[in-house]
């Protein structure tokens, strides 16, 4: 199946096929649910390109999301130069960039989204915390959405009206996903000194992000409710994409709702542990959509 997917993605060179296989292993390891959804619910020809985009996003995050502000800014600048050279046709020693360059050749729209993502990375390297929802919304618009569009652009519709509806659904999706990310990773983010819950909401509830008490429980419930309101309507999202992509879109939104259930169940305990969707429920959701697609 993987060899056929590489053929359909136009990856015939032996080194490039090894590169894609290496990135596939990495993505399957750190994003198993997303990999499973892509493998089961999208056309084979898209799988290597999604792998390339997700691997690039993960590599970027690893390079610019740790250390001091000075370290992050320096790492971002260095990475930006390497990426742009690879996309301009220069040979690179990095398999992840060779895969990205190939995918950008096959899907030219990706180049513009990489540019937006790199600009967003400059802002990601600078931020420490959010004062309020307005700052969080800015972060989502400037960084999180361009990151999502690295993969989302691969299934974007052709017609302008549907493309606009699709872009709006993607924006709503990532707004909810990002708020859920910050809730799921609360304990780790607090240890790193970069909590994602807006400071005014923390103050409003009198919560201590390190203490699993009633105040934090109320804060988590409020933020979970906002995430739920931000997620797009599944029917509208489906209507914005071509029929062959609708099982994937349904599963994508469905997994976010499972994440939401898990966050609500965890409540104040998020101060001491991470959260995530129930594995059996997620597997059942993917299987159900795979059967519908089949």
Please write the tens of the pLDDT for every residue from 163-193.
999 999 999 999 999 999 999 999 999 998 8
- Could you tell me the pLDDT band of residue 32, with boundaries at 50, 70 and 90? confident
Q: Where are the domains of the chain?
A: 1-126, 129-294
Q: Do 1-126 and 129-294 share a fold?
A: yes
Q: What is the mean pLDDT of residues 49-57?
A: 96
Task: Report the predicted TM-score, pTM, of the whole model to 2 decimal places.
Answer: 0.92
Looking at domain 1-126, which CATH architecture does it have? Orthogonal Bundle (1.10)
What is the number of residues in the chain? 294
In this structure, the dihedral spanned by the alpha carbons of residues 147, 56, 152 and 194, taken in order and rounded to 10 degrees, is -30
Q: How far is CA 220 from CA 52, 264, 265, 269, 283, in A?
A: 34, 7, 10, 10, 26
What would the pLDDT profile of 67-81 be if each residue is shown by its tens digit?
Answer: 777 888 888 889 999
What CATH superfamily is the domain 129-294?
Farnesyl Diphosphate Synthase (1.10.600.10)
- Could you tell me the pLDDT band of residue 200, with boundaries at 50, 70 and 90? very high
- Number of helices and strands (H, E) in the chain? 16, 0
Could you list the beta-strand ranges (E) of the chain: none
**Whole-angstrom distance, CA of residue 77 vs CA of residue 82:** 9
Which residues, 6+ apart, have CB-to-CB distance to 279 below 8 Å?
Answer: none
**Whole-angstrom distance, CA of residue 223 vs CA of residue 16:** 43
């Amino acid at each position: 199946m993987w060899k056929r997917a590489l053929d359909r993605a136009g990856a015939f060179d032996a080194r490039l096929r090894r590169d894609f296989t290496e990135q596939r292993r990495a993505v399957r390891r750190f994003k198993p649910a997303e990999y499973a959804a892509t493998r089961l619910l999208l056309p084979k020809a898209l799988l290597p390109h999604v792998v390339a985009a997700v691997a690039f996003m993960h590599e970027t995050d690893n390079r610019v999301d740790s250390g001091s502000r000075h370290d992050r800014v320096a790492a971002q600048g260095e990475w930006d130069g390497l990426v742009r050279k690879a996309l301009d046709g220069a040979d690179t020693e990095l398999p992840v960039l060779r895969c990205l360059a190939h995918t950008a050749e096959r899907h030219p729209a990706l180049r513009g989204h990489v540019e937006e993502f790199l600009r967003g990375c400059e802002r990601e390297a600078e931020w420490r915390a959010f004062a309020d929802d307005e700052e969080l919304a800015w972060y989502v618009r400037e960084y999180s959405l361009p990151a999502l569009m690295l993969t989302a652009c691969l299934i974007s519709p052709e017609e302008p009206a549907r493309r606009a509806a699709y872009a709006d659904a993607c924006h709503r999706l990532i707004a909810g996903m990002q708020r859920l990310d910050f809730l799921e990773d609360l304990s780790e983010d607090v240890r790193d000194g970069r909590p994602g819950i807006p400071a005014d909401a923390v103050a409003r509830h009198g919560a201590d992000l390190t203490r699993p008490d009633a105040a934090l429980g109320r804060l988590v419930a409020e933020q979970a409710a906002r995430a739920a309101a931000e997620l797009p309507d599944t029917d509208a999202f489906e209507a914005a994409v071509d029929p062959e992509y609708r099982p994937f879109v349904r599963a994508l939104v469905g997994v976010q709702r499972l994440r939401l259930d898990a966050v609500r169940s965890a409540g104040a305990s998020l101060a001491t542990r991470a959260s995530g969707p129930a594995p059996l429920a997620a597997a059942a959701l993917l299987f159900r959509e795979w059967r519908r697609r089949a």
